[in-house]
Amino acid sequence: MFCILYQSTKTNKTPASDIYHQARINNGIYGITGCMLQTSEHYFQYIEGPIEPVQNLMANILADPRHSDVTILHQVYISSRVFPNWNMGYFNSTSELMKQLENCDPNAPMFVQMLLEFMTTLYDTA
Ligand SMILES: Cc1cc2nc3c(=O)[nH]c(=O)nc-3n(C[C@H](O)[C@H](O)[C@H](O)COP(=O)(O)O)c2cc1C
């Protein structure tokens, strides 16, 4: 299995609900799980599953005009899922940590770790 974490910039007023409804249906078919956060300016999404569907989905996501500046922050082979029960967890995040993350340099070494810890905390408390 494989996972990808990316950040992107919202480009239009497409309601995120349109995106995650479609995501949950498609991801269920392809065995993809993960978590998506929306802030005022960005999407942050973690996707995981068998490598081919994950890479196909990432190609779709890269070409999707509903966002721009899609930047892969982290991609790696994994032996087990982090979000096994979520075809796509979705949070409209206004928390202080997300506000800090939004202003943080995605190239900073701690960024990926903080983002993943934040997502797994949401999963553990859901
Ligand atoms: C921020 C963002 C996140 C997305 N996440 C997913 C996803 O997890 N799963 C998915 O199937 N499509 C997702 N999409 C939509 C894909 O870019 C693409 O529209 C979709 O995979 C095409 O599905 P279709 O072949 O059923 O038309 C996302 C789009 C955006 C803008």
Q: How large is the greatest C-alpha to C-alpha distance in the chain, in angstroms? A: 37
Using an 8 Å Cβ cutoff, are 113 and 73 in contact?
Answer: no
Q: How far apart are CA 108 and CA 106, in angstroms?
A: 5
Domain boundaries, the chain: 2-125
Which of 118, 96, 125 is CA-nearest to residue 44? 118
Pocket test for ligand 1, best of 26, 33, 70, 71 (most atoms within 8 A of CB): 26
Q: What is the pTM of this model?
A: 0.92
Check whether domain 2-125 has CATH 3.30.70.100, yes or no: yes
User: How many C-beta atoms lie closer than 10 Å to residue 43's C-beta?
Assistant: 19
CB of 74 closer than 6 angstroms to any ligand 1 atom: no
- What confidence tens digit (pLDDT) does each residue in 18-27 have? 888 899 999 9
- What confidence tens digit (pLDDT) does each residue in 25-77 have? 999 999 999 999 988 888 999 999 999 999 999 999 999 999 999 999 999 99
